[in-house]
């Protein structure tokens, strides 16, 4: 019996707006088990689209690692390091 690969590619061009791309990112990270601490807002957010946390629990207690997520939805070009030159200032 042969197993079929059920991997599907996402066509990001079908996501028609930055707000919907941020919602996609929120849903994806939530489905992967991240806790969403700050959700996308309307208007200028200063580059802080999402703040998420990964929680680790063990015999020595609970540890939370936070991540700043900046969503970039560019259909015409790739996202590069220059898109987030001052990420340290966005805490």
Q: C-alpha angle with apex 78: 72 to 82, nearest 5 degrees? A: 75
| pLDDT value of residue 70 | 81
Q: Tell me the pLDDT of the chain (91 aa) as tens digits.
A: 555 666 777 777 788 888 888 899 999 999 999 999 988 776 565 656 788 999 888 888 989 999 888 887 766 656 666 655 555 555 5
H runs (alpha helix) in 1-91:
18-31
pTM for this entry:
0.66
Report CA torsion sign: 33, 34, 35, 41: negative
CB 36 within 8 A of CB 26: yes
| pLDDT value of residue 29 | 95
User: Residue holding tokens 């690692």?
Assistant: 65
Report CA torsion sign: 55, 56, 61, 63: negative
| pLDDT value of residue 65 | 92
């Amino acid at each position: 019996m042969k197993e079929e690969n059920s991997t599907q590619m996402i066509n990001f061009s079908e996501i028609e707006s930055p707000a919907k791309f941020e919602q996609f990112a929120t849903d994806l990270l939530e489905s992967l088990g991240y806790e969403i601490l700050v959700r996308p807002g309307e208007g200028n957010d200063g580059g802080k689209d999402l703040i998420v946390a990964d929680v680790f629990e063990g015999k020595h207690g609970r540890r939370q690692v936070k991540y700043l997520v900046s969503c970039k939805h560019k259909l015409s070009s790739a996202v590069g390091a220059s898109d987030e030159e001052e990420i340290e200032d966005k805490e």
